[in-house]
Amino acid sequence: MRIGQLAAQAGASPRQVRFYEAKGLITSTRGPNNYREYSETTLGRVRQIRELLNAGLSTQAIRGILPCLESPRAPIVFEGVTAETVTALEQERDRLTERIDVLARNRDAIADYLTELRQHAA
């Protein structure tokens, strides 16, 4: 598929797709017309990248865990993963856990507030 189609299906812009490629997060081939061509696998990869970026991971951290993105469960891919990658992932996990805790507290506070509003409205 071409870049525009990939971008639309992944919820990204063509510029973002080119950025991911420039950062080494995805690859493309060139068709006879010299247009970039992407596989269906790349569509899934771009969606994963966008989710990880939205979660707050940097492109550098994402590039470090790319071997794990191929098979996040079983079998786990160990090739290319360094001690630095493990440390960075631990830090990212801890940072995400903190964000989740804050979001959960905010959600609970809003739920409590809504309960009070409903009780007073009735």
Per-residue pLDDT of 13-58, as tens digits, reads: 999 999 999 999 999 999 899 999 999 989 999 998 998 888 878 8
Which pLDDT tens digit goes with each residue over 104-119? 999 999 999 999 999 9
* Domain range enclosing 67: 1-78
Task: Please indicate, yes or no, whether residues 51 and 97 belong to a single structural domain of this protein.
Answer: no
Task: Please indicate, yes or no, whether residues 53 and 90 belong to a single structural domain of this protein.
Answer: no
| Residue 77 DSSP symbol | P
Identify the domain boundary among 78, 93, 113. Answer: 78
Task: Please indicate, yes or no, whether residues 44 and 10 belong to a single structural domain of this protein.
Answer: yes
Instruction: Please answer whether residues 43 and 6 qualify as being in contact, where contact means their C-beta atoms are separated by less than 8 angstroms.
Output: yes
Task: Please indicate, yes or no, whether residues 72 and 16 belong to a single structural domain of this protein.
Answer: yes
